[in-house]
Structure 1
Amino acid sequence: MLVRPFTKPGDNSIEFLDEDWDVLVVLDACRYDLFARKNPFDVSVDKVHSNATQTREYIRNNFVGRDYRDTVYVTASPQFADFELNFAHIEHVWRDRWDEEYNTVRPESITEAAIDVANRYDDKRLIIHYMQPHYPFIGPTGRKLDEQATFVPNPENLSVWEQLSAGHLDEETVRKAYEENLSVVVPEVERLVENVEGKTVITSDHGNLFGQRVCWLPIRIYGHPARVHHPELTAVPWVELPYDSRREVIPATETMDTDTSFEAVEERLADLGYK
């Protein structure tokens, strides 16, 4: 609340849906510089700026009140359950493929669902929204971090970013766990690209902060709080991959049926660190 008045959305924010792509891969909370260092593809990684700093803001700013019946959204994020959106179809993978051990949707589940949806909706654009590198951390460092956290008093049920801000966790360890989460999802993105035709672009809905200060304020920000438009938080990768053929896109003629039969949404959001 203190830093928001000192930040505002930039004029150079990207319009995700207006760009040229057939398949848009969204890696939740992926910093530009992290993907640039871990990029497995033989193409450049451009820096663009999102118009959002958290997923709900990304949904509101890009999709609410707009007609995207030429597009199918495949999502690991329960955030989409709270919105009525005009896509040809939304595949809520989190509903049926939630991993109770890891408290998230594993990336291979998204890849499998996306390949199936790509075949069923072969005349639509696709947005494939992976949960990683967003918390929970499912790599070896992250798993160890969660095990250790069970022995650390946390009576206020703070998120990993609030614990980091309070000095209860080591920043280097959290950074390593965050980077491992990207390493876990990248092979699944590669598998997706091999199995789904069309021009694929990789990006993120927003980034993540590790102790950045806003202006002259003596406050360090961690995570991705809503409406804090720090340039390091809005900076996301934009990776255009080579392709052999394009998808022939035909918009749906009818509005999709709105599915409201969602259960355990609040529980799933809590697993992802939204208290």
Structure 2
Amino acid sequence: MTLTDFLRKYINKSQRDGIPNAARGAVVEATSKTVLRRIIDWQSEPIWSDDWDICLVLDSCRWDTWKTVDGRGRPAWSVGGSSLEWLERTFAEEYEEQMARTGYVTANPNTDRTDLLDGRLAYIDELWRDRWDVEEQKTVTPVDVTDRAIWAWLQREQLGFDQLIVHYMQPHAPFRSLGERGGWGPQNTGYESIWNLLRDGEISQETLTEAYADNLVWVLEEVERWEEKTGGDLLVTSDHGNAMGELGEWGHKQKNTGNPVVRRVPWLNIEGTGKDVDSESVDPPGDPPVTNQNMSVAVEERLRGFGYL
């Protein structure tokens, strides 16, 4: 980024966020893009560095929230500071061999923003295309993800994979305990995120922290189902966290952050029994899995609904 580009970006932020917030953000950005980011990138752990059969990715899970709610495992540095960056670094060319024998069931619509997955995974099921709860939760619910993913795992021989990544959207917003305020509301031509409401003092940090923890409890119920229904070794982790004002940031950037609270995620290994439940005892997930090859939806609407646009 040139000096002219940096100044232009700062001016735009000052007009949108006010000079104090913009100035603080400019300093944070300049720092995080150099020292902090490079240190964290160097220490980051790709999921492929560990041994697992099933990797459960809980979207936007801060380590401190995890520690309070669950407490197991250890902290780790994520390879990315956003879902898109995590996808780009997790499914990079250097991991093609692992990807070729891996399935991916995901509720995260960022898969539509990269071509790294095309033809390189053994199996992919994008639930955000056909399991979006439009009426109530405004997201893909954890139970829907688990239903489809467990079905896929029990059919893995027929589907052609021996490892499975399952990407839940929780504890990412929208927050079920906050109702309409827990998601994304229209403001002018854009969207005001819950993190901007926190920044502007329109919602308290205590309220948001409790809502964040509640969303984590929501998805942890599904982790228990994996322990009960499958015998594979589990890795439970996250793609990134969210900032609540630390280092002048709220939420998370799309890329290139060195904010420790955004890059610090849980890393929990759960040893499996080696024995899955009888596949006949698991109900089919409803309609057959639908991928981007055979279904078209309003992609921008989904991405905007999660605050990615």
TM-score range with shorter-chain normalisation?
0.7 to 0.9
**TM-score after normalising by structure 1:** 0.84
Unaligned residue ranges in structure 1 (runs of 5+): 214-219, 248-256
Residue 206 (structure 1) shift: 0.6
Percent identity, please.
34
Letter in 2 for 1:47: P
Count of residues paired in the alignment: 252
Give the distance between the partners of 2:271 and 2:171, measured in 1 at CA: 24
Residues 186-241 of structure 1, C-alpha deviations (whole Å, 9 max, x = no match): 1111112211221001000011111102xxxxxx2111113212112111001111
Cα distance change of structure 1 residues 274 and 265 upon mapping to structure 2, 3 Å threshold: same
CA drift of 1:167 comes to 2.3
In structure 1, what is the equivalent of residue 44 of structure 2? Answer: 13
SS at match of 1:29: coil
Please give the per-residue CA displacement for 1:2-22, whole angstroms capped at 9, x wherever unaligned: 222211142210021231111
Contact 1:136 1:273 in 2 (8 A): no
Match of 2:251 in 1: 223
Alignment-derived partner of residue 245 in structure 1:
274
Identify if the C-alpha distance between structure 1 residues 46 and 246 changes in structure 2 by more than 3 Å, giving closer, same or farther: farther
Find the aligned partners of 1:36 and 1:262 in 2 and give their Cα distance. Answer: 39
Q: Which amino acid aligns with 2:179?
A: R
Q: How does 1:72-221 map to 2 (within 5 A)?
A: 72-84=103-115, 85=117, 86-100=120-134, 101-122=136-157, 123-138=161-176, 140=177, 142-143=178-179, 145-146=181-182, 154-155=187-188, 157-213=191-247, 220-221=248-249
Q: 1:52 matched to which residue of 2?
A: 80
> Residue 236 of structure 1: which of 265, 268, 272 is its match?
265
Of structures 1 and 2, the larger Rg is shown by 2
Contact 2:230 2:272 in 1 (8 A): no
- The one-letter amino acid paired with 1:172 is E
Match in the other structure for 1:267: 301
RMSD between superposed Cα atoms in Å:
2.3
Whole-angstrom distance in 1 between the partners of 2:31 and 2:86: 20
Deviation per residue, 1:46-93 (Å, 9 max, x gap): 111001110000011110334111100010001112223111011111
Letter in 1 for 2:45: I
* Residue 24 (str. 1) matches residue 55 (str. 2): yes
For residue 17 of structure 2, what is the aligned residue in structure 1? Answer: none
Cα displacement string for residues 138-183 of structure 1 (whole angstroms, at most 9, x for unaligned residues): 1x3x216349x97xx9435311112222223222211211111001
SS at match of 1:87: coil
Alpha-carbon contact 1:110-1:130 (below 8 Å) kept: yes
Q: Residues 92 and 199 from structure 1, CA distance in 2 versus in 1: closer, same or farther, beyond 3 angstroms?
A: same
Unaligned runs of 5+ in 2: 1-24, 277-290
Shift in Å at residue 136 of structure 1?
0.7
- SS of the residue corresponding to residue 20 of structure 1 reads coil
How far apart, CA to CA, are the structure 2 residues paired with 1:239 and 1:246?
20
More helix by share: 2
- The C-alpha deviation readout for 1:109-129, integer Å capped at 9, x for no partner, is 001011111012145101011
Query: Amino acid of the residue matched to residue 64 of structure 2?
Result: D
CA change 1:78–1:184 in 2 (3 A) is same
Contact 1:24 / 1:202 at 8 angstroms: preserved in 2? yes
Higher relative contact order, chain-length normalized (CA < 8 Å, sep 6+): 1
Aligned counterparts of 2:228 and 2:60: Cα–Cα separation in 1 = 24
Give how far 1:260 is off. 7.2
Aligned residue number for residue 217 of structure 1? none
What is the rounded CA distance, in whole Å, between the counterparts of 2:300 and 2:181 in structure 1?
23
Q: Distance in 2 between the 1:80 and 1:163 partners?
A: 27
Specify the SS of the correspondent of 2:179.
Answer: helix
Task: Give secondary structure in 2 for the equivalent of 1:163.
Answer: helix
